[in-house]
């Protein structure tokens, strides 16, 4: 064989090897891409399955709250609804791995409702003082209270004549104007207002809430700081002692029972500002399924007939 022929044959072998190598690289890339797409599909499927399991958890919470209302006229922190679920194992059909559910129901009426800061678009001075006391008890600046109250007021319809009746006086405005700003749904909506940062909002979360309407404080579930806030003449130390006694099992039967147990005639309290039952609850839940995680938060409203979902938010 001549030298040029041998050279051409060698080049042909090299070219064939290059083609084989290129084909192997392409095949490997395609297989890897298919594997990644399959993993993405499985991950998305698990995420959707986890979300469905969370919705099932919300239905479970609604049933628990309905059953509680049938069995007891008062809402207390020792009832079944208040027991958290921690790492409950679930076996969804079609999934190779078990799902793990954790969640808890919280009584939102055991907190200071910022919606009470205004009525029909007008700031309520008494509620503003109560909120300032709450901020003081939580080591937050009371000076931020007026800005928050004005923002709450801006999210409410206002009486046409510019005046507002008290929430419990039995009268109603003849007509109202639309809110001047969107209504707030949760404390997270206050972020950035009056210098509120994430740390301050987290500190507020245990004692404050924003509900769709005005509401009394449930003295059977409220922490000491909230009782101190709504009962103007109540010292914080006495509120702490009152809560400690309550949590040992001496719950309040009604608002009159709460007032009597204050044992101080100097303390004046509007009985409409407190209650011993609740209609507003929040639910926080998380489901882990394989590599997928789904978390939700929901607000529930309970009445004499049912428990309905007010809103659901996916939590990142």
The residue that leads in pLDDT, 22 or 138, is 138
Which residues have CB under 8 Å from 60's CB, separation 6+? none
Would you mind telling me the total number of residues written for the chain in this entry? 316
Task: Specify the 3-state DSSP secondary structure of 124.
Answer: coil
pLDDT band at 99; cut points 50, 70, 90? confident
Q: Which of the residue ranges 52-66, 96-110, 239-253 has the most confident prediction, judged by mean pLDDT?
A: 239-253
The answer to whether the pTM exceeds 0.75 is: yes
Task: Specify the 3-state DSSP secondary structure of 233.
Answer: coil
Long-range Cβ contact pairs of 26-33 (< 8 A, separation 24 or more): none
* Domains detected in the chain: 36-110+280-314 (3.30.1300.30), 112-156+182-275 (no CATH)
Whole-number pLDDT of residue 268:
78
Whole-number pLDDT of residue 264:
84
Token duo for residue 8: 């051409």
Whole-number pLDDT of residue 4:
60
pLDDT in tens, 167-216: 555 455 456 889 899 999 999 999 888 788 999 999 999 999 999 999 99
For residues 72 and 82, what is the distance between their CA atoms, to the nearest angstrom? Answer: 14
DSSP-assigned letter for residue 263:
-
Say yes or no to pLDDT of 301 above 80. Answer: yes
Q: Which of the residue ranges 22-31, 36-45, 65-74 has the most confident prediction, judged by mean pLDDT?
A: 65-74
Whole-number pLDDT of residue 245:
96
Say yes or no to pLDDT of 9 above 70. Answer: no
The residue that leads in pLDDT, 111 or 30, is 111
Closest C-alpha among 213, 218, 23, 31 to residue 118: 213
Whole-number pLDDT of residue 258:
94
Whole-number pLDDT of residue 270:
78
DSSP-assigned letter for residue 44:
H
Q: Which of the residue ranges 86-100, 198-212, 227-241 would you say has the lowest mean pLDDT?
A: 86-100
Pairing of strands 208-209, 176-177: unpaired
The overall longest dimension of the chain from CA atoms, in Å, is: 121
pLDDT band at 265; cut points 50, 70, 90? confident
Average pLDDT, the chain: 85
Spell out the SS3 assignment of 206-218.
Answer: CCEECCCCCCCEE
Whole-number pLDDT of residue 193:
87
The residue that leads in pLDDT, 122 or 272, is 122
């Amino acid at each position: 064989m001549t030298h040029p022929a041998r050279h051409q044959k060698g080049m042909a072998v090299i070219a064939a090897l290059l083609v084989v190598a290129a084909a192997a690289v392409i095949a490997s890339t395609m297989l890897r891409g298919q594997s990644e797409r399959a993993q993405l599909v499985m991950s998305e499927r698990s995420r959707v399955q986890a979300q469905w399991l969370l919705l099932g958890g919300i239905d479970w919470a609604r049933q628990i709250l309905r059953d509680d209302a049938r069995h007891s006229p008062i809402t207390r922190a020792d009832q079944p609804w208040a027991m958290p679920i921690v790492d409950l194992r679930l076996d969804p059909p079609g999934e190779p791995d078990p799902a793990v559910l954790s969640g808890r129901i919280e009584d939102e009426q055991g907190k200071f409702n910022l919606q009470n800061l205004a009525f029909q678009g007008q700031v309520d001075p008494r509620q503003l003082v109560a909120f300032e006391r709450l901020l003081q008890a939580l080591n937050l600046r009371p000076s931020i209270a007026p800005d928050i109250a004005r923002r709450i007021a801006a999210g409410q319809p206002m009486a046409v004549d510019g005046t507002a009746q008290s929430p419990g006086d039995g009268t109603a405005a003849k007509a109202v104007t639309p809110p001047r700003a969107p209504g707030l749904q949760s404390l997270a909506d206050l972020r950035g207002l009056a210098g509120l940062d994430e740390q301050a909002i987290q500190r507020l979360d245990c004692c404050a809430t924003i509900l769709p309407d005005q509401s009394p404080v449930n003295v059977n579930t409220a922490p000491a700081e909230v009782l101190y806030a709504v009962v103007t003449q109540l010292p914080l130390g006495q509120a702490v002692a009152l809560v400690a006694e309550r949590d040992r099992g001496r719950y309040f039967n009604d608002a009159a029972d709460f007032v009597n147990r204050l044992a101080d005639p100097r303390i004046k309290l509007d009985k409409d500002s407190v209650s011993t039952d609740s209609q507003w609850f929040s639910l926080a839940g998380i489901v882990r399924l394989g590599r997928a995680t789904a978390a939700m938060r929901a607000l529930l409203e309970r009445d004499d007939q049912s428990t309905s979902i007010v809103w659901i938010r996916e939590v990142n």
